[in-house]
Structure 1
Amino acid sequence: MHHMERLKKYGRIEKELARNLLAEFYGTALLRFIGTGVMAQFVLSSGTASSPIQINLGWGLAIALSVYVAWETSGGHVNPAVTAALCILGKISFTHSLLYFIAQTLGAAFGAGIMYLVYSEAINAFDGGVRAISGPNATGIIFASFPRAYLSNTGAFIDQVCLSSVYKIH
């Protein structure tokens, strides 16, 4: 047996669900890795290394690439909101959607964690080791979005529902 044929035979995951979960893990990790890197560039340079439009383009590229990577295997959900919508529509079972949620959550934590390792020294230099979500040296926005003082809970909810729905438009 040729080496490549052997690799294909032994490197293939036979269970479809396992392949799908791995694709969701990897796609979501890639999304968070690229997106978090985009935010790190912006925050750690105090906005001098990139602009808000570059953040939007970077996240758009991250979404497109992560969906592309996982699309053929799992459908490229890479977001629990997409998986939830597909579950509600009956396109994926409730049990599988729960497993997808776990894979996506672990993938997001892994991708953001790897990016943290890449930027940990720069983050420490920027914020002096004091992690904050607001203020001139806040670094929390690199890893998550936080409501602003002017944003109500209702406004934040509507924002998240509308932005999450964009993932599933086609």
Structure 2
Amino acid sequence: MSMLIRICRRAVASLFPSARAGAALTAALALGASACSVVTGEHEAETKFLVKPTSQSTFSGWSEVSVSQDPNSVDGAELMFIRLEARDDNVPDLTFIKSITAEAVVDGVSTVVAKKSPMPTGERIVPLDREYHGDIRKFFYADEENGGYTVHVDWHGQVDLTKTIPPEGVWMRVLVAIRVE
């Protein structure tokens, strides 16, 4: 009995389009909740987002994913990791991002899921620090508008404007892994 991702909505509250990274997290949460066609074990989801230079040093955005069946139809789902990587080979590391935080939001209550600050020098692939270690199914809420269950993630952070960022921006790859029980 597979859950289907029904809709993915993204909105960016600033010029930094990081909400796509939130889509990776929420897609992974939905994948985990689906038990990946009733297959327990580890599963991954991937997406990308563009970090584009702006005159502001902060960014924020949100993303949502809805699934058709109740996430509680599996025994549990745990976030294993979220990893960022620059897709552009000309980027030596991710230090142009000063900080990043992902928060799952249910009924107006935010829970920090992962964050990172500062980014390590010389590393092109950076795992975020997992802040939430419990069952992620609790972040899904009944969503009558979409006829399913939705998870909402807010993303925010800071960009280091002293670092060189190409005018066209830097594409980031986001990999999220979950464990389904």
| TM-score, scaled relative to structure 1 | 0.30
User: Larger % of strand: which?
Assistant: 2
Higher percent of residues as helix? 1
TM-score by length of 2: 0.28
